[in-house]
């Protein structure tokens, strides 16, 4: 019987990044798309919208 490596069972591309890392990268890409589409706020606007100031 041949030895099976983890990459024989689970593709290495799935092992190298966690679900959290993929979710974070999706959020980064979405944020960049928002910026390119002109959907942005100044820091002052963001703070006011969040009720921080």
Could you tell me how far CA 51 lies from the centroid of its own chain? 26
In the block, residue with structure tokens 């390119």: 36
Note the pTM of the prediction, 2 decimals: 0.56
For 14-26, the pLDDT digits (tens) are 666 788 888 998 9
**pLDDT for res 21:** 85
Per-residue pLDDT of the chain (53 residues; tens, 9 = 90+): 566 655 566 666 666 678 888 899 899 999 999 999 999 999 999 999 999 97
d(CA 5, CA 31): 38
With contact defined as beta carbons under 8 Å apart, do 47 and 53 qualify?
A: yes
CB-CB neighbours of 4 under 10 Å: 8
């Amino acid at each position: 019987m041949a030895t099976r490596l983890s990459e024989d069972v689970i593709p290495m591309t799935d092992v190298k990044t966690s679900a959290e890392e993929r979710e974070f990268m999706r959020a980064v890409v979405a944020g960049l798309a928002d910026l390119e589409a002109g959907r942005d706020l100044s820091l002052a606007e963001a703070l006011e919208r969040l009720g921080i100031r």
